[in-house]
Amino acid sequence: MRDEDLRASTNIDDRRGMGGVARGGIGLGAAVVLTLIGWATGIDPSVLIGGAEMVTSGGGSNYQAPQGRQGAPKDPVGSFVARVLGETEDVWAQILPAQAGRQYVKPTLVLYSGVTSSGCGTAQSAMGPFYCPNDRKLYLDTSFFQDMKAKLGGGGNFAYAYVIAHEVGHHVQNLVGLLPKVQNAERRSDPKTANSLSVRTELMADCLAGVWANHMNRRHANIDDSDLRQAVSTASAIGDDRLQKMSRGYAVPDSFTHGSSEQRVRWLSAGLRGGTIQTCDTFNR
């Protein structure tokens, strides 16, 4: 994927190298425990691409956001992230009003290393990228890109862009009012139903990432067949069934939170082909 033509967003809060956790959230001790569990059992699906726990959790009333470096980073990885974020801003600013009658409000993307605070609790690298609806920010430790390549066999610029676009998809869900409704329904549901709602929400974010890529390619003609293969390979690699088999040797469909490999590939592909939000109605299909 060529990214040199993409506009770099300045809505970046770069906390890399800062360390520490602000007041509020689940606390550093809990984050350490989660990390140990994650690395002991393999990459658990509930902490990959979207961080379902973080999306549905609430932030403490005394939360104070740490301040990082504001604006587009200059290093290669940070610059790439800023350009992808900028393209999500430009695409969704056009298609969200046209397709959903809503104005697009740009989110902030927080880059961090290791651990930081969010409006949904402590952000920890083992949790993977996630979107926090409480502060409308995306959180990304870019070491996740290396993990994708080393542990999942994924990688490549378009695959990394897909990760970011998926989290922006959650932001779009929040802007149209879907995310709060799903969160309320999950809280009232039994675990099996709640997991099913989570899967549908995550698959919709996959599809919305595909919608974004469709329009980006119309604007810049910067995606080729190898990029599409990268994205499909990554979507397949992070299916709940594959991840559970990697970590425990078998899959438990009722515990899925993000969808199977087949489902993730299918919905990402649907967004890429269709290019519309209406294509992504995972709740009625």
Digit-coded pLDDT (tens) for 61-104 = 455 667 789 999 999 999 999 999 999 999 999 999 999 999 99
The answer to whether residue 6 is domain-embedded is no
Least confident of 51-55, 146-150, 184-188, 277-281: 51-55
Q: Which two tokens stand for residue 105?
A: 């409000």
Residue 268's domain comprises 12-280
DSSP state string for 226-272: HHHHHHHHHHHHT-HHHHHHHHHSS--GGG-SS--HHHHHHHHHHHH
The answer to whether residue 4 is domain-embedded is no
As for how many domains the chain has, the answer is 1
What is the structure's pLDDT at 139? 93
The answer to whether residue 242 is domain-embedded is yes
Mean pLDDT of 133-137: 93
